[in-house]
Structure 1
């Protein structure tokens, strides 16, 4: 079973599909994608994300505020908890820390406060968190530990950091998700990390519409392209494509157990 564990279906480029999301989803299904997790990045767009999930049996969703969006300063635990009660909401996030695009210390504090609130909400409702982290390795792990994120568990999505960070997260029960970045020509260090992450801790994703894998690099990404990510990761681990799909699908179902698969 092939699963795209992280995509933004409300943000896809639908021009190749005559403006129709249903056509993009149908194409993904034709490529073998059996389930998609549509990830929320702003609370004001949560209804759009939820509607997509409600209209499709093979789509789940999350609720959260991405660290690079203005709404991060208004993160509300009660709003996260209330929204997560819907049967289609299987995770809290996308949340986390990104010091690469915003280097202002004041903003970093806002991100940290929002991140903590997401973890607290996740622990309240016993749902996993979806973590975005870039150039914030020490603070990300420290906050996960301080907020007892091992209780809710989660995933470091679209992973691009060090093996040491991956190992620290896995010690807290987290999964590591690889996107199309692992296929990029200059990503040999990341490929080595992928080889060394235990299979029982790996997920695959597109993060579409961003970061299309080779041979689609430069195009707008879409859930169908998770097939290329899966084949590439399978090759790195010396597995068949079907073996990798089954392993990552089982991992997904363990982590996002509320998903209706």
Structure 2
């Protein structure tokens, strides 16, 4: 779809997906933090202008969840408190799907930013998307992942995502590739103080999540497992509401 306008891409997707309501797809986003508490900086990247979805916007690394990621071996599991929250009020989301969501956030951070979260250890898998971890000797680790927020794209959009926003610390990165990730989705990677990140050219929901994160860091600066509340944003009727998981 290179070279197509947003309207043209949307038209193609409407034909491919068919008429009627679109079911949100699972997606995972990682908010990577560097520093302490509210003084921390956050990693963001600018999407290429040629992308139909949020062109030119600064976003966190992330993308659609691959269910097969649940079968990737991890050096450490999700903290039980975080797994319980990921599966709360989420229909058929069980432990395997929660694992897939968390691992997808790690994979996308490698693909888009060249940052491999995990531990230095032998790692092997037949899955092509994870070969970078095998090549650099990094076993992905889930113990540092924290569930920060959830948001579902409102109805009526061509692309709809049920996005889980997770967070981890830069100290949990085992390898930083100087050339960035193997994909070309983000053309500029920057570490921004939280206040500056909120003023950048970002989607409205990203600004809302940053505000939520800043409030949580004010009383939970280490992001302890199970600490703080996890807000859930979605549309009910004609109102975009905030609930707590």
Same fold (TM over 0.5): no
More strand by share: 2
Name which structure has the greater RCO, CA cutoff 8 Å, separation 6+: 2
Q: TM-score, normalised by structure 2?
A: 0.26
Query: TM-score normalised to the size of structure 1?
Result: 0.25
Q: Going by fraction, where is helix more abundant, 1 or 2?
A: 1
